[in-house]
Structure 1
Amino acid sequence: MAFVAPRTPMEETLATLWTEVLDVPAPGIHDNFFQLGGTSLSSVLMLARVQETLGTDIPLERFFEAPFIAALATVLESSSEVSVYKPLEIPGSPLVLLSPNGTQTPLFCIHPVGGDVLCYSELARRLGEEQAFYGVRAQGLDGAQEPGQSIPAMARSYVDHIRQLQPSGPYRFMGWSMGGAIAFEMARQLEAQGEHVEFLALIDAYAHPTGEVPPGTDLGARVKQYLAQELHQDAEHLDQPRLVALRKVLEHHLLAIAAHTPEPYGGEVLLLQAEDVSNRALQANDNGWRPVATGGLQVLSVPGTHHTLLRPPNVDRLAGLLRAALRAIPREGDPSSRGKQAS
């Protein structure tokens, strides 16, 4: 689409905010925030700046619906509540429907450490309309609830919510980074309950993430500094309520990761590893998953780094591998490929 400059005062204000947050010189009103380099973290910052500047609190899901200056200006200038981004209508549910028309067995994709699921938007589009795709958001991002306290506790909560939608298996789970560790624990818990998980994919997740939290660490200060670096902001500018809630979620999640040791799971696991990594030894050791993936571990490589494999163009390769893996799931009554271990 051709470049279109801001036409109204509202669009000009939003363009200025996009320039500040994304460090781009002149965003057009139809430029996609995420294709310009925006991330889940920077979208939180952008909406916090909108609230500070314009006095309006825009839910993150409304921004995901249409991440364009023109669309956001329309939302801000109207009272319309029509949305194509559909959080599941269950009170307190973390489930977010990212692919609304899918008819295949739902794929539940668990949030990474930041708690939101916007990082999966490009992947959800590329898996095709037939694949029902739900993101599972973290508790606490709204500032009204306490974040999850441990990986097993989060897994139990998410499984309970998912079973309200899908009472019995077969289940399909996936997660990037910390989300992979939670998805693995969810599959393990369901296996212990006698349920069948027919697909479990870990997107560059680690069984034993590095970066322990030593006793006495001022984790709040560390998280604030991390966000300041990631968002290119001064630390004192991160006290807006939306960002305070995000900081609290990050603190809880980092503690949960540091304290977690995965237990064995007897189902098949697909690990999708980023090719560009700094720790080749850990990569060669299958990110630590093989000893606990007792039902078999298949490892595939995806171009990019841990943080770029979900972005174009790398996400195209990731989606292709996932589509092939999902197509290969045996239909009910076909035992031909169950129980096989790949490497």
Structure 2
Amino acid sequence: MALDRDEIVQTVSEIWEELLDVDVDEDDDFFDLGGYSLLIVNVVTEARKRGLELSANDIYTHKTPAGLADALSAQAAPADGPADPDFSTVWESGLSPLGTEPSATLVRLAEGTGTPVFTFHWGTGNVRFMGGLVDSFRGERPVYGLEMVGMWSRERPALSLVEMASRYLREIRTVQPEGPYLFVGPCAGGRIAYEIGRQLEERGEEVAVLAVVNTMPPGTTELDAAWGLRELYEFRLAALRERFGVPDLLTDTERLMRGMAEIAWLDEGVDPADLHWRQAVWAAGIFAQEHYEPRPYGGEVTVFQLAEHADRPEADWGRVAAATETHTYESQGTLPLLRDASFAQDLAKKLAAYAG
């Protein structure tokens, strides 16, 4: 049975009060109360448990219990909402791996001598921005990046992190056929580096350095495991509108993409017509990350973490790795950490300790 307006107001208010630990009036703005993007996942999950079909975009668009109730009780679409292509349309525009030549994922980021360093894309799938950062820690070594399938083609990416890692490893071997290997994984790329390291260990090969940068261990999730690609895609579009103040992604695409490039969520040169495809690729990558079931790794993981995560039990890489070496910094996010001089110095020492 559908909830009426007053019941929706009450339900939404109760959920916000529980999650934010504040009193909520029907005209209170979710974000003014202290709400943030990832917490919306919890709001949507709790609402659906109570019989209220709510989406992330509803919260971004209406923001208050009263606004949500007015929209939902009238079965209204988000007011003046942009007509973004739905996920199915975008995904179907992609190419099956069966019907296209595999696109390259390996890109050279820096020339050099000695054993190369391999770094991996973060959640947005891009890695070329790392080219402007690697000189701070690579020494004289060459550096290669692995970017997600679909970044510059319409090939559909894998929905399995294990499959994704296997493909990247095949490309890594075209440059370095055998180990020991040097891996640096920022953010979501840390889990990819971990899985590749685990696959190499199974084959009796060595990873000399497996460094993860602001990466939560595999098996940790902050999203709803029940969400599929469509929910993740719609969540992403709504989050972009809110973060960059762009109500209509189709009208303001170029402004949005400039903002994304400034924080390295996009590399330079992306066609504005590919904006929605890139968000579908993001959804595929997050889906793979969220459904990755880790296996133990017998080697060492070098953890470069933010101070805000230091005391979180779920941030302990010792749960999945035989040994850890942990460094902690006061940076505010992955990109600031990658730019942190202390981090760069510590990573450079770790890489330099391997003489190959």
TM-score, length-normalised on structure 1? 0.63
- Structure 1 contact 302–309 (Cα < 8 Å) conserved: no
Correspondence for 2:349 among 283, 302, 324: 324
Q: Does residue 94 of the first structure (1) align with residue 119 of the second (2)?
A: no
- Within 5 Å, which residues of 2 pair with 1:138-153? 138-153=148-163
Q: Does residue 300 of the first structure (1) align with residue 327 of the second (2)?
A: yes
Once the two structures are TM-superposed, the CA of residue 280 in structure 1 deviates from its matched residue by: 5.3
The number of aligned residues is: 234
CA RMSD of aligned residues (A): 2.3
SS in 1 for 2:150: coil
CA pair 242-231 structure 1, distance change in 2 beyond 3 A: farther
- Structure 2 contact 214–334 (Cα < 8 Å) conserved: no
The CA distance in 2 between the partners of 1:311 and 1:271, in whole Å, is: 13
Which runs of 5 or more residues in structure 1 are unaligned?
1-89, 333-343
Correspondence for 1:211 among 207, 210, 223: 223
Q: Does residue 197 of the first structure (1) align with residue 222 of the second (2)?
A: no
| Deviation readout 1:262-292 (Å, 9 max, x if unpaired) | 21011111000012x2x5542xx37131121
CA pair 280-197 structure 1, distance change in 2 beyond 3 A: closer
| Deviation readout 1:152-181 (Å, 9 max, x if unpaired) | 011000001111111111111110111000
Q: Which has the higher contact order (CA 8 A, sep 6+)?
A: 2
Q: Does residue 180 of the first structure (1) align with residue 180 of the second (2)?
A: no
Once the two structures are TM-superposed, the CA of residue 128 in structure 1 deviates from its matched residue by: 4.6
Residue equivalent to 1:31: none
Residue equivalent to 1:231: 244
Residue equivalent to 2:94: none
- Within 5 Å, which residues of 2 pair with 1:60-139? 92-100=103-111, 102-128=112-138, 130-139=140-149
Q: Does residue 255 of the first structure (1) align with residue 287 of the second (2)?
A: yes
Once the two structures are TM-superposed, the CA of residue 320 in structure 1 deviates from its matched residue by: 0.3
CA pair 229-143 structure 1, distance change in 2 beyond 3 A: farther
CA pair 161-199 structure 1, distance change in 2 beyond 3 A: same
Once the two structures are TM-superposed, the CA of residue 146 in structure 1 deviates from its matched residue by: 0.5
The CA distance in 2 between the partners of 1:280 and 1:325, in whole Å, is: 20
| Deviation readout 1:207-231 (Å, 9 max, x if unpaired) | 1132234347722211111222343
CA pair 225-151 structure 1, distance change in 2 beyond 3 A: same
| Residue type at the aligned position of 1:302 | Y
Which runs of 5 or more residues in structure 2 are unaligned?
1-100, 254-271
Paired-residue identity, %: 29
The CA distance in 2 between the partners of 1:151 and 1:176, in whole Å, is: 15
Residue equivalent to 2:167: 157
Residue equivalent to 1:241: 273
The CA distance in 2 between the partners of 1:317 and 1:131, in whole Å, is: 20
The CA distance in 1 between the partners of 2:223 and 2:330, in whole Å, is: 24
Q: Does residue 287 of the first structure (1) align with residue 315 of the second (2)?
A: yes
| Residue type at the aligned position of 2:284 | H
- Structure 2 contact 102–155 (Cα < 8 Å) conserved: no
- Structure 2 contact 301–317 (Cα < 8 Å) conserved: no
Residue equivalent to 1:84: none
SS in 2 for 1:268: strand
| Deviation readout 1:222-261 (Å, 9 max, x if unpaired) | 1111222343322432774221121111110111121112
The CA distance in 1 between the partners of 2:284 and 2:102, in whole Å, is: 23
The structure where helix makes up a greater share of residues is: 2
Residue equivalent to 1:75: none
SS in 1 for 2:319: coil
- Structure 2 contact 305–326 (Cα < 8 Å) conserved: yes
- Structure 1 contact 147–248 (Cα < 8 Å) conserved: no
CA pair 307-268 structure 1, distance change in 2 beyond 3 A: closer
Say which one has the larger Rg.
Answer: 2
